[in-house]
Amino acid sequence: MGIWGNLVAFEVWDFAIPVQIRVSPLKQKNKKMPSKSKKSRASGRFGARYGKTVRANLVRVEDKQRIKQKCPYCNKMTAKRISKGIWHCKKCGKKFASSVYHLNH
């Protein structure tokens, strides 16, 4: 197709002089629906409930408690939280009580 391939042409008769005007068709912009926003990690299970700040604080606490922590007995990064305040070290096999969410070094 040439330059005028997609254009619509029509004639205008004014003062008995034929004039040809080329007009491009209206282009529709691709207006898509906004994509679904990501839920905020572990707090995504709550949806829109409880407010943003509460869910953000929950994510911070749960991220800390789920990672392996430094064992106070063998000083290796192998202590893992079993339940509230109970921790277990896989390296030395000790089970001990400490802070609820993360070990204080």
Beta-bridged to residue 11, according to DSSP, are 20
**Average pLDDT value for the chain:** 77
Going by C-alpha positions, the residue among 54, 70, 58, 56 that lies closest to residue 102 is: 70
What digits encode the pLDDT tens for the residues 48-91?
A: 889 889 998 988 888 888 888 999 999 999 999 898 889 999 99
Instruction: Determine which of 2-11, 14-23, 40-49, 85-94 has the lowest per-residue pLDDT on average.
Output: 2-11
Rounded mean pLDDT, 10-22? 57
CA distance 90 to 88: 6
Confirm whether pTM is higher than 0.75: no
CA distance 71 to 42: 25
Fold of 42-97: N-terminal domain of TfIIb (2.20.25)
Residue spans of the domains in the chain: they are 42-97
Q: What is the pLDDT of residue 29?
A: 63
